[in-house]
Structures are given as C-alpha cells and as structure tokens.
Amino acid sequence: MRRVAALAAVTALTLAVSTSAGTGHLSAPTTAGPVGLARSSALAPCTVHAGLDIQMTEGLPTPHGYARSTGTLHALTLMVDFSDAPGEGNAMDRFHEFFPQTERWFRTASYGRLRYQALTPISGWLRMPKPFKAYGIERGAPFDPGYRELVKDMVAAAGQKVDFRSYDILNVLVTPNAGPSALDTVLSVTFAGNGDAPVADGVPVANASFIYSRQDDGSGSYARTGYRVLPHENSHTFGLPDLYTQEGGGAVGHWDIMSEDWGADNDLLGWHKWKLGWLDGSQVACAATRGSSEYQLTPLYKPGGGKLVLVPVSAQSSYALEVRAQGGNDEAVCRPGVLIYKVDGTIDTGRGPVTVYDSHRNSGGCTRSPNVQAELSDATFTPGETFKDPGHGITVEILDTDADGNYRVRVTRG
C-alpha cells in the first residue's frame, strides 16, 4: 500500500505542475526527480520519503517549485554594485570568476544531462538605487525585507533589457567589495522554491543565488577553485539541502559540494545524482529483501555502469553505497573505495540529513589538501572490510576490485 500511495503522490504532483505552469520560466515549477522512479516498482521500496514540515529534504520526490535539474537550464546572471561599493574593474571579469567552470562542473556531475547556460543580457555592473548598507544584508538574513527590496530594485533597474520569463534561475554576482570578506563571514545564500518572491514580467523570481566576496583562502587555488560556491548555491535551487552542520563538514566531509565548497573540487553524492535525475533506474539497485545479493559498482565520476546500491532502513531512511575514486569532479579522493552513508528524509537542511560512515575512525584521514575535512577523507571501505548495522540485520562486505576500479559488494539482510 505504501508503494501505491507513493506513486499516486508522484502522479498528483505531476498533474499539479502541468496545470499551473508555463515552461522554462523562473517560476516554472518543474518537478526535478529520478528518471524512471515512478516506472520502476523494483526501486519503490528504496524511495526515501520526506518527513513532515521539513524545509529542504533529501526525500523523494523533490517538491515542485524548484528549478529544473535536467535539460537546458537558463541562468540569468547579473553583476550588481552599489554607490557605497562601486564595482571595481569590468563586470565580466566578475562573471569569469565563475564561468565557464560552473557550466563545466554541472556538465561533468550530471553526465551531460544538465546543460547549464549562464546568460548576461546586461554585461556591465547593474547599479542598485540604494547603498549596500541600506538593504541590511548579513549572514542568515531572511528574504524579507532586505532581499525582497534588493530583488525588486534589481528587476526595476534591469527594466526592458531582461525578460525574466526566459530564465530558470537568477544568479546575482555581487561586487566583491560589498560586505565582509568571506574569510570572516560567508554571506552567499540561495532562496529556492520561493513562490512569494517579487514578480518580474509576470513570474516570481523564485530561485535566486546571491554570491558575495571571494572564497579565497590564500592557498593560491582561488582562480581554479573559487567558483565552487556557485554550484553549491545553485544546487539549492534544485532542492538539495546543506549537508554541513553547525560543527562544519564532520558529517559528510568533502564527499559532496553541499557539505564543503571551499578547496579542491568535489562531486555530489550518488544519492543527489539520483534525486536530480542524472542516473537511470538501471544504474541504481535496491537491496530491500532478505538474503544476500552481490552488486558491481563503477566509480561515480565515470559515465555509465552501476552507480548506487540503496539498502533501506525505514520508509524515510536508507543506506547508500557508491564507489568514489579520483577523476571528473572528484579531485581530492586519497583512498578510492566504497563510500557508505545514510540518507534521512526527516532531517532538515543543515542538521545532518546525510551521515557518512568512517571505515577508519580517528585516523586523521589521508588528505593534506587545504579546506578538505581530513578525518572523513579515508572513510571509504576497501576489499576485506565490512560494514554492519546489527540493529537492522544489515551487513555490507566489500568483495574485490578490478583493474578498472570497479568494486563488487555483497549486501546481506537478516
């Protein structure tokens, strides 16, 4: 019955979307979701359902109102400045701190399923009518009243030069001299799925990412890695939650850009790729029944092959297994192997909805890369190692690996 209920819910959402939406607009409430989930009854027991009253959930399906995560994404990108923080140099230089790297990052992460196009109908600085100070923007500031004012003023300043109906998301690249240094306070923020945002050209500006300052740690890597705050913020517009907590990256480490977006490049977890529709149902296995089954997993960064084994614990939580190795967006992997983590649809953004299990606890990790949470860098399991959850009768054994970096795992449920 649960399965039927879940499928009915998916259908209802799809109907709601098709009756209320235009297409390809900032407001378009496309439901991003796993390709083939509704069709594949074998995967239904592994649907992680969302808890009630969760702001941003790991659960499926992603609620409507977020931006499309497959196909072509049109990202309106505006560079803004203020009378008390005038833009220094060319606005397009600010744009090039983030592009084309962000487009490339999404193309690689999505195996070509998301074609991100950043568009700049206004190539100079767009001057806001009030000084930066007047908007009262600080870390954690809510949408009202400061951001609402800023968006309204931006829409008015853009005037006839921008037709907001032509875009799926808005990027606001604020001049770096407005506000504090990102070394002291990170102001960058996204308001996503925000149906009461100010309306422009008849559509609400519902999915908007604001980037401030520069995430430059002085290690000399800014030109190469400083863009990474933008794919993090944009991933919120697809409905992904923050995986770092008040204690920082200790829950997921550098295994997902929603956990850590400074330093060396990193990818998204396989769960996120599934949630965003970047994996086929045939690349995901669901170990829901009693007994033992073996699975082959190929490294997450390589297109094609088996990517994710889900081992459900409840209707709202599941273990996930995937192979991580160096390649693609995964730059800092120092111990290739099988990453094991738990996804919980009832835990909200920033409170630890994903937890990675560390195969080598208190080892200090294997990385020396700056801005990479060290302890979890050697969290992966390798052949001969076993993960056990005796409470749920679940055992995962890593059997072997081959010359192509594929791994075989055995999942046993008692």
Q: Which is nearer to Zn ion, 81 or 242 (CB)?
A: 242
The least distance separating Zn ion from the CB of residue 258, rounded to whole angstroms, comes to: 6
Q: Which is nearer to Zn ion, 240 or 396 (CB)?
A: 240
The least distance separating Zn ion from the CB of residue 259, rounded to whole angstroms, comes to: 10
Q: What are phi and psi of 250, to 5 degrees?
A: -70, -15
DSSP state of 42: G
The least distance separating Zn ion from the CB of residue 235, rounded to whole angstroms, comes to: 8
- Cβ atoms of 253 and 377 within 8 Å: the answer is yes
Q: Which is nearer to Zn ion, 242 or 358 (CB)?
A: 242
CA torsion 62-37-327-264 (nearest 10°) is: 10
Buried/exposed 304-314: b ≥16 CB within 10 Å, e otherwise: eebbbbbbbbe
Q: Which is nearer to Zn ion, 43 or 257 (CB)?
A: 257
Q: Which is nearer to Zn ion, 189 or 376 (CB)?
A: 189
- Cβ atoms of 206 and 197 within 8 Å: the answer is yes
- Cβ atoms of 399 and 408 within 8 Å: the answer is yes
Q: Which is nearer to Zn ion, 239 or 336 (CB)?
A: 239
Applying CB under 5 A, which residues contact Zn ion?
Answer: 242
- Angle formed at CA 241 by CA 344 and CA 25, multiple of 5 degrees: 130
The least distance separating Zn ion from the CB of residue 232, rounded to whole angstroms, comes to: 6
Q: Which residue sits closest to Zn ion, CB atoms considered?
A: 242
The least distance separating Zn ion from the CB of residue 53, rounded to whole angstroms, comes to: 20
The least distance separating Zn ion from the CB of residue 50, rounded to whole angstroms, comes to: 18
Q: Which is nearer to Zn ion, 153 or 233 (CB)?
A: 233
The least distance separating Zn ion from the CB of residue 210, rounded to whole angstroms, comes to: 11
Alpha carbon distance, N-terminus to C-terminus of the chain: 23
Q: Which is nearer to Zn ion, 189 or 372 (CB)?
A: 189
The least distance separating Zn ion from the CB of residue 287, rounded to whole angstroms, comes to: 31
How far is residue 375's CA from residue 381's CA, in Å, rounded to a whole number? 14
Distance set, CA 285 to CA 41, 307, 320 (Å):
12, 8, 10
Each as own residue / partner, the long-range contacts of residues 286-291 (CB below 8 Å, 24 or more positions apart, any chain) are 286/42, 286/43, 286/44, 286/45, 286/46, 286/310, 286/312, 287/311, 287/312, 287/411, 287/413, 288/45, 288/46, 288/312, 288/413, 289/413, 290/413, 290/414, 291/412, 291/413
